[in-house]
Amino acid sequence: MHYTHQKMIQFRHDRSDEEMPHWCIAFVPDDDLATVTFLRGKDVQDLTLHQAEQKAAQLNAKLDTEH
């Protein structure tokens, strides 16, 4: 399981540049049949692409240290 950046659902079909706050963080389980969970909250939604990539990396690092 890991965290990744995703385009927010409401902007999925819009053209978005990297500086537009159209990105969020999703939790992706290892099981292909499991559900991807889009996280909620101001720290993990309405992010630029760069912010979302950094936040996902930060959450993955924290997840790795817990295991």
Kindly report, residue by residue over 6-20, the tens digit of the pLDDT: 999 999 999 999 999
Tell me how many domains the chain contains: 1
- In the predicted structure, residue 32 carries a pLDDT above the cut 90: no
∠ at Cα 57 (3, 6), nearest 5°?
45
Residue 53 is predicted with a pLDDT of 98
Confidence of residue 66 (pLDDT cuts 50, 70, 90): confident
Distance CA 21, CA 55 (A): 14
The stretch 20-47 carries a mean pLDDT of: 95
Structure tokens at 37: 């969970």
Domain that holds residue 59: 2-66
Handedness of CA 28, 34, 38, 39 (dihedral sign): negative
Long-range contacts at 30-35 (CB < 8 A, ≥ 24 apart):
30/1
| Mean pLDDT, the chain, integer | 94
